[in-house]
Chains A and B, each alone.
Chain A
Amino acid sequence: AQSVTQLDSQVPVFEEAPVELRCNYSSSVSVYLFWYVQYPNQGLQLLLKYLSGSTLVESINGFEAEFNKSQTSFHLRKPSVHISDTAEYFCAVSEASGNTPLVFGKGTRLSVIA
């Protein structure tokens, strides 16, 4: 079975500063990895995903995440955050070879301060 650990429950950061949200996973098989974002009072939406190929994946709004198999990590980064990035971010994992549902981490609340 897979599991996900998001190491920080809350991350406050000043506007235009860089940010890293950490995610580690545990699995005995190959995995797919995802980051979802939840804006206040909304459902989750996919931010980016790693399935295969290049270990660095990017989103349309400037976030990127790097799959590191040796460290079993999939940290999310952005070089300069905006107020509008304030949200909760969830890392999720699933088995690459199976038909199994996603397993979500507990989430990291990113608060961008003006």
Chain B
Amino acid sequence: NAGVTQTPKFQVLKTGQSMTLQCAQDMNHNSMYWYRQDPGMGLRLIYYSASEGTTDKGEVPNGYNVSRLNKREFSLRLESAAPSQTSVYFCASSEGGGSYNEQFFGPGTRLTVL
């Protein structure tokens, strides 16, 4: 099992460009999450999908959109990138949406917006 995979690993964008971060999991998990990690800020939830077909905003959703393509895949789109979106992005999944479930994390995407 690969667990949670993310592509790309690194990306540099210019202000105003768009891109999609891809995430896939092979653990048959129902719930998936997108976080951003910034120095001294910990992890902040951008969007999550408790189950296939549903998505909800997290703490910092502005400037992002998500798509739960199927049970395996959950993508994050930046329509018009801004320097404030320079960050490391992590995707995670869990068996269910229950708050007791362990989350499994991908290796991250390091995004720089110039």
Contact = CB atoms under 8 A, between A and B. Distances in A.
Interface residues of A, number: 24
Interface in A1-23: 6, 9
B4 interface: yes
A94 interface: yes
B48 interface: yes
Contact of A32 (B44, B100, B108): B100
A106 B42 contact: yes
Given A99-B50, A101-B48, A104-B43, A43 B106 contact: yes
A100 B43 contact: no
B89 to A, nearest CB: 11
Interface stretch (A45-53, A63-71, A77-85): A45-53
Given A32-B100, A96-B99, A104 B42 contact: yes
A94 B99 contact: yes
Nearest 7 pairs between A and B by C-beta? A43-B105, A94-B99, A106-B42, A104-B43, A44-B105, A104-B42, A99-B97
